[in-house]
Structures are given as C-alpha cells and as structure tokens.
Amino acid sequence: MSDEFLVDAIWTLTIVTVFVVLAVLPTFIALVRGADEILLIMLVNALCCATVIGWPIALIMALKWPRKHPRPTKAPAPHRPPPSPERHDTRKVIQVHVEEP
C-alpha cells in the first residue's frame, strides 16, 4: 500500500513540475532574451496561462518581442596586408669610408 502511494506521489510531483515549467516558459524566455516589455509578457503569461489561447500568445510575445538592447554586431577584422613571399633582411648596413689626412 505505501509503495503504491510513493509511486503515485512521485508521478504526481513529476507531472506538476512539468506543467509548472511549461507554464512559466514564456516568462523565462523573455527574461533570457531581454525582451523590451517584460512586465507585459509576464502579465499575459500569468493571467492567460490557463487558457488554451493565452499561453501560445505569451510564448509568441516572448520569442518575437524586440529586445531592450539589440545584440552587438561583430566588429570587422582589422585589415592586414598579405605576407610577403620573401623575407628580406631589413637591417641597413652603413659603410663609412674614412680617409686619412
């Protein structure tokens, strides 16, 4: 009798946990993305989560709503001249001729 109760309790806890995670998924996505109107998304999620239509609306809002701070674009790589095929000795040799008086 107690084993069946324990198994039922574990399954119930698992199912409730999955539903809670799915219910707050739009809010979590909006937080991670840094959505612009996060409070509106959280409000729609909290008030309309139980309906069949409200949760997908909150999920779409969380995925498509503009960000507060857009992602920075990658800076272009600095231009480097191509390597020369031959290496020359860049040291200059100065020859001085000294004449004796």
6-31 pLDDT, tens digit per residue, is 888 889 999 999 998 888 899 899 88
Query: What SS3 state is found at 2?
Result: helix
Q: Decide if pLDDT at 85 tops 70.
A: no
- Write phi, then psi, for 67 (nearest 5 degrees): -85, 155
Rounded Cα distance between 70 and 84, Å, is 41
Rounded Cα distance between 48 and 44, Å, is 6
54-68 pLDDT, tens digit per residue, is 888 888 888 887 877
